[in-house]
């Protein structure tokens, strides 16, 4: 298994290109199942999660062709001959559940394996299922699979989510585009990835209003057609690379970045003493001399501070002046990076969903273990600022969500290399 060797060596300077969003691409890809005509995505990120979704769609009979070094995905679902999403693929990636709504909406039946638990919490899919039931789906849970049927097609209905869920909003939104009548999604997620999905579905002929607000209204249509759509910028990759100069010092421009994608995060950087400026090229991030100031962070659905940037922000706050409190409100078990950061000399106390970080002068390099995607990149960021060498093991998590990390950070002066495993 590969590992990443990072040697802390001071300020970073340069430009980092930000890819299309993994999480947007993972919901745009299943949208191909809604139409018999081709759907082409441009600005796709080159990641192992995208390969997993490609394999899943292909297992259902969809054609997926990767072009231009993986940045263009040409898909066609004119010949879906299998309606079962198998456990072997679904267990690798929770986003696989997103094929359920589209298959059910177009063909009236689908069987999808339950994703099971994952490292950052229980993460059930009950709200995906309740939303589809509100549109008339008949569901049966058997042997770890959801057997879904909608014999006369799905029907519009009102879905009120008890709390914000990104995935269930996406599944319901896709399904509702082909349901008979009007569907209203209340307390819907407002993430930029939802807005991107709605824009793509509209290009395919869907009638949607209100995306980006907490109430989305969908007027079902008989069929959707083909479209070409660019994947929105990855706000989590953006925030991650903005933290690199924040941690190491220097000045880095994240190409294609916009403050509107990360308002709450930029406010916290400002409070910590990091300057962020939006230019025509992207977001220019600079850290002046002196230590970063401690800030308190609470994760929330968009437009709040994203849970997917909590681990990386913690890496920054480990060497801040003062004490920071990080509260994780989205997932119940998302501080697995804390013990690894402690091994690097950080002073962190985790109590339930709350982590208290007392800033230390400097972290020290150590061998550490990546436990999930965002945790793994937080350890790389910490390693960039630490004294000596840090080896981040189990980087397959990293490859799920970050393309060419070594190249992107290396181009700004970071000492980082991949060590090939057996």
**With binding defined as CB under 6 A, does residue 265 bind ligand UD1?**
no
Q: How far is the CB of 186 from ligand UD1 (least distance, A)?
A: 15
Dihedral sign computed on CA atoms, order 19, 23, 24, 30: positive
Instruction: Give the per-residue contact string, 46-85, with ligand UD1 (x = CB under 6 A; - = no).
Output: ----------------------------------------
For ligand UD1, the binding residues in 123-152 under the rule CB under 6 A are 123-128
| Phi and psi torsions of 180, nearest 5° | -75, 125
CA distances from 42 to 20, 163, 232, 391 (A): 9, 32, 10, 34
Would you state the torsion angle of the CA atoms of residues 119, 124, 127, 133, taken in this order, to the nearest 10 degrees?
A: 140
**With binding defined as CB under 6 A, does residue 310 bind ligand UD1?**
no
* 3-class secondary-structure state, position 318: coil
Q: How far is the CB of 19 from ligand UD1 (least distance, A)?
A: 15
Strands (E), 240-370: 250-255, 274-278, 282-287, 297-298, 323-327, 347-351, 354-358, 367-369
Catalytic residue chosen out of the listed positions 118, 248, 318, 412: 118
Contact stretch for ligand UD1 (CB under 6 A) within 162-170, 222-230, 262-270, 386-394? 162-170
Closest of 75, 62, 85, 90 to residue 28, by C-alpha: 75
**With binding defined as CB under 6 A, does residue 309 bind ligand UD1?**
no
60, 89, 132, 168: which one binds ligand UD1 (CB under 6 A): 168
Instruction: Give the per-residue contact string, 325-364, with ligand UD1 (x = CB under 6 A; - = no).
Output: -----xx---------------------------------
Strands 3-7 and 415-419: antiparallel
Task: Rank residues 62 and 114 by Cβ distance to ligand UD1 and give the closer one.
Answer: 114
Report the C-alpha gap between 22 and 360 in whole angstroms: 33
Report the C-alpha gap between 379 and 393 in whole angstroms: 10
Would you state the torsion angle of the CA atoms of residues 137, 141, 142, 148, taken in this order, to the nearest 10 degrees?
A: 20
**With binding defined as CB under 6 A, does residue 397 bind ligand UD1?**
no
Q: How far is the CB of 135 from ligand UD1 (least distance, A)?
A: 15
Report the C-alpha gap between 295 and 293 in whole angstroms: 6
Contact stretch for ligand UD1 (CB under 6 A) within 77-85, 120-128, 203-211, 238-246? 120-128
**With binding defined as CB under 6 A, does residue 165 bind ligand UD1?**
yes
Which residue minimizes CB distance to ligand UD1?
167
Contact stretch for ligand UD1 (CB under 6 A) within 61-69, 160-168, 282-290, 377-385? 160-168
**With binding defined as CB under 6 A, does residue 371 bind ligand UD1?**
no
**With binding defined as CB under 6 A, does residue 96 bind ligand UD1?**
no
Q: How many residues bind ligand UD1 (CB under 6 A)?
A: 19
**With binding defined as CB under 6 A, does residue 94 bind ligand UD1?**
yes
CA gyration radius for the chain?
21
117, 121, 388, 421: which one binds ligand UD1 (CB under 6 A): 121
Decide if 25 is catalytic.
no
Report the C-alpha gap between 315 and 335 in whole angstroms: 12
Sheet holding 274-278, edge to edge: 12-17, 250-255, 282-287, 274-278
Would you state the torsion angle of the CA atoms of residues 227, 232, 237, 241, taken in this order, to the nearest 10 degrees?
A: 130
Task: Transcribe 100-137 into DSSP letters.
Answer: HHHHHHHHSEEEEE----BTTB----HHHHHHHHHTT-
Task: Rank residues 319 and 376 by Cβ distance to ligand UD1 and give the closer one.
Answer: 376
Task: Rank residues 30 and 249 by Cβ distance to ligand UD1 and give the closer one.
Answer: 30
Count of beta carbons in the 10 Å neighbourhood of residue 268: 19
**With binding defined as CB under 6 A, does residue 23 bind ligand UD1?**
yes
**With binding defined as CB under 6 A, does residue 114 bind ligand UD1?**
no
Report the C-alpha gap between 330 and 334 in whole angstroms: 9
Contact stretch for ligand UD1 (CB under 6 A) within 80-88, 166-174, 339-347, 382-390? 166-174
Sheet holding 415-419, edge to edge: 367-369, 389-393, 3-7, 415-419
**With binding defined as CB under 6 A, does residue 197 bind ligand UD1?**
no
Q: How far is the CB of 114 from ligand UD1 (least distance, A)?
A: 11
Interface contacts to ligand UD1, rule CB under 6 A: 23, 26, 94-95, 121, 123-128, 165-168, 307-308, 330-331
So which residues are the catalytic ones?
A: 118
């Amino acid at each position: 298994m590969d590992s990443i060797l990072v040697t802390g060596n001071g300020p970073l300077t340069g430009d980092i290109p930000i890819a299309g969003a993994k999480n947007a691409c993972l919901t745009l890809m299943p949208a191909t199942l809604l139409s018999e005509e081709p759907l082409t995505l441009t600005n796709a990120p080159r990641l192992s999660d995208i390969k997993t979704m490609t394999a899943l769609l292909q297992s259902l009979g969809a054609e997926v062709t990767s072009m231009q070094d993986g940045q263009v995905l040409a898909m066609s679902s004119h010949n879906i001959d299998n309606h079962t999403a198998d456990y072997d693929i679904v267990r690798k990636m929770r986003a696989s559940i997103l094929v359920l709504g589209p298959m059910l909406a177009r063909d009236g039946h689908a069987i999808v394996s339950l994703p099971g638990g994952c490292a950052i919490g229980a993460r059930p899919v009950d709200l995906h299922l309740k939303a589809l039931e509100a549109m008339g789906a008949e569901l049966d849970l058997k042997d770890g699979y959801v057997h879904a049927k909608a014999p006369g097609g799905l029907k519009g209905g009102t879905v009120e989510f008890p709390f914000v869920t990104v995935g269930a909003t996406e599944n319901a939104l896709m399904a509702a585009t082909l349901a008979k009548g009007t569907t209203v999604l209340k307390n819907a997620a407002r993430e930029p990835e939802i807005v991107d999905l709605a824009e793509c579905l509209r290009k395919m002929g869907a009638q949607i209003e209100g995306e980006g607000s907490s109430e989305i209204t969908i007027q079902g249509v008989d069929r959707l057609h083909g479209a070409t759509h660019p994947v929105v910028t990855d706000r989590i990759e953006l925030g991650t690379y903005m933290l690199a100069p924040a941690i190491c010092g220097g000045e880095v421009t994240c190409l294609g970045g916009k403050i509107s994608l990360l308002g709450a995060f930029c406010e916290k950087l400002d409070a910590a003493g990091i300057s962020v400026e939006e230019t025509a090229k992207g977001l220019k991030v600079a850290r002046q001399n002196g230590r970063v100031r401690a800030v308190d962070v609470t994760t929330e659905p968009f437009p709040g501070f994203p849970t997917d940037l909590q681990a990386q922000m913690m890496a920054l706050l480990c060497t801040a002046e003062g004490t920071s409190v990080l509260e994780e409100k989205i997932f119940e078990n998302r501080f697995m990076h804390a013990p690894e950061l402690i091994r690097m000399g950080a002073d962190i106390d985790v109590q339930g969903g709350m982590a208290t970080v007392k800033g230390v002068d400097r972290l020290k390099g150590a061998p550490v273990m990546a436990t999930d995607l965002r945790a793994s990149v937080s350890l790389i960021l910490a390693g960039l600022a630490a004294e000596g060498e840090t080896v981040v093991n189990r980087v397959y998590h990293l490859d799920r969500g970050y393309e060419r990390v070594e190249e992107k950070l290396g181009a700004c002066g970071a000492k980082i290399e991949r060590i090939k495993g057996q």
